Amino acid sequence: MTQFRPSSFQILPTIIKNLLIINGLFFLAQNTIGGEQGWINMDDLFALHAWQSPLFKPWQFITHLFMHGNMGHIFSNMFALWMFGSILENLWGPKRFLIFYISCGLGAALFHMIVLYVENQTMINAFYALNNGSGDYSMHIQQFIEKYIPVHQPVPVNMQTAKEILSLRLNEATVGASGAVFGCLAAFGYLFPNTYIYLYFFLPLKAKWFVLLYAGFELSMAISNSAGDNIAHVAHLGGAVVGLLMVYFWNKKNRQTFY
């Protein structure tokens, strides 16, 4: 099995340690001052919102990277960040790794926002067409509701319901460091393609195959766009693409660092 032992290896390098702390503090705030009994809506302020949403703020491109939905979400992201990111930081140093991590997060967010903009604009156009449509007015409203409601359930078929669905979709929050973490995973697979990753701590699989299989899964999920799926698969792919491009150009003149 391939071994990687960089000089001055740290099991918890500086940037990784600080990212873990910041994410932990944000998660604590989400569940205390930002919880149901809290005095501030953390999601409205710091989660990423679509450009068409009145809740969108520019700083959300950065702050959403430190927000997470639940314990399982933050644990899986932080574990993967430590597992792959610590090796990259030991290899590149803290400054380059931080630039890489933030760039992957921003790239993932941009991919996600572009797709979200197109989807939301289609929904907005469909909503405003309800008032101008011909034929059975209630039938058009029902079709709109059935298309955009996350889970089909009995609801009043009227314009108020359609308006509420539109508002909910536009103001939907995106949180998590997954895009940036996928960038780290892609970089690791590129630099250390033959290093083994143990799936579920038991099944060995080379990093290059793991990255390709995971990317294929994310692509299939993004294309299928299943109802009720609240995972930003396009953001994951966007982070991986940005990470792969960055490490490719950084490593273009130094092809000795493949393991």
Q: Which domain holds residue 31?
A: 14-250
Number of independent structural domains in the chain: 1
Residue 89 · residue 16 · CB < 8 Å: yes
Lowest mean pLDDT among 1-10, 18-27, 193-202, 238-247: 1-10
Does 137 reside within a domain? Answer: yes
Does 161 reside within a domain? Answer: yes
Per-residue pLDDT band for 200 (boundaries 50, 70, 90) equals low
Q: Is the pLDDT of residue 18 over 80?
A: yes
Per residue in 119-164, pLDDT (tens digit) is: 899 988 888 888 665 555 677 787 777 777 765 667 777 788 888 8
Looking at residue 3, what is its pLDDT? 44
Does 45 reside within a domain? Answer: yes
Per-residue pLDDT band for 255 (boundaries 50, 70, 90) equals low
Does 8 reside within a domain? Answer: no
Instruction: Tell me the CATH number at 184.
Output: 1.20.1540.10
Between 230 and 35, whose confidence is greater? Answer: 35
Per residue in 81-109, pLDDT (tens digit) is: 998 999 999 999 999 999 999 999 999 99
Q: How far is CA 98 from CA 9, 79, 180, 191, 240, in A?
A: 17, 17, 11, 17, 16
Please tell me the distance from the alpha carbon of residue 143 to that of residue 157, in angstroms, as a whole number. 10
Does 143 reside within a domain? Answer: yes
Looking at residue 1, what is its pLDDT? 38
Does 7 reside within a domain? Answer: no
Share of the chain above pLDDT 90, in %: 46
Q: How far is CA 162 from CA 71, 121, 150, 234, in A?
A: 33, 15, 13, 26
Residue 159, both tokens: 């314009």
Does 194 reside within a domain? Answer: yes
| pTM for the model | 0.85
Does 6 reside within a domain? Answer: no
User: Average of pLDDT values for 47-54?
Assistant: 94
Q: Is the pLDDT of residue 257 over 70?
A: no
Buried b (16+ CB within 10 A) or exposed e, 147-185: ebbeeeeeeeeeeebbeebbeebbbbbbbbbbbbbbbbb
